[in-house]
Amino acid sequence: MKKNYGITLVSLVITIVVLIIISSITVTVSKDVIKQAKLQDLRTNMLLIQAKTKTYAEEVNFETANLDETKEEDKTKIDTIKQEKLKGIALENCDNNIQEAAKNAGIDDMTDFYYISQEDLTEMGINIEVPQDSYYIVKYNFEDAEVVFTKGYKYDGTTYYKLSDINNIEF
């Protein structure tokens, strides 16, 4: 009698099914890990921008602490100090593309919001690449320096634009 040393069709099918199950689990877990990494990358970038903008806002507040905004002379000094110290372009002075992106990201009142360009980020010491047709916008406010990314982050069917909202996302 001849001895066969091969594998049976049943054991081959079982092996293939097990491999398919393992690979599908791996793909699913990998997608979640990639989503989390992208979220953490965006959050880190926005936190870096927020820290720098708070520094600039504190410098302006320090230099303007004794000035009275109701006096025209002091208001002019405050505006001059803001122009010297704050990075970016006032959102109300930006082109329509940036303003429209800001509106789509939920910014209705453009007061105190500034568009931060790639050049501004470099001057701040932040080395990140801003994706094309996306903008970082900051609100220079001592209490709540808000950072907005106009491309947003999509999670569970909702797009989040503001750092304060992105910080609340949990996987």
Whole-number percent of the chain with pLDDT over 90:
58
For residue 165, CA distances in Å to 20, 37, 146, 150 come to 38, 17, 10, 13
pLDDT of 145 reads: 82
What are the residue ranges of helices labelled H in 64-160?
Answer: 72-85, 96-104, 118-123
Is residue 5 scored above 90 in pLDDT? no
Is residue 109 scored above 80 in pLDDT? yes
pTM > 0.85: no
Is residue 4 scored above 80 in pLDDT? no
pLDDT of 142 reads: 65
Query: Tell me: the pLDDT tens digits for 6-33?
Result: 778 888 999 999 999 999 999 989 998 9
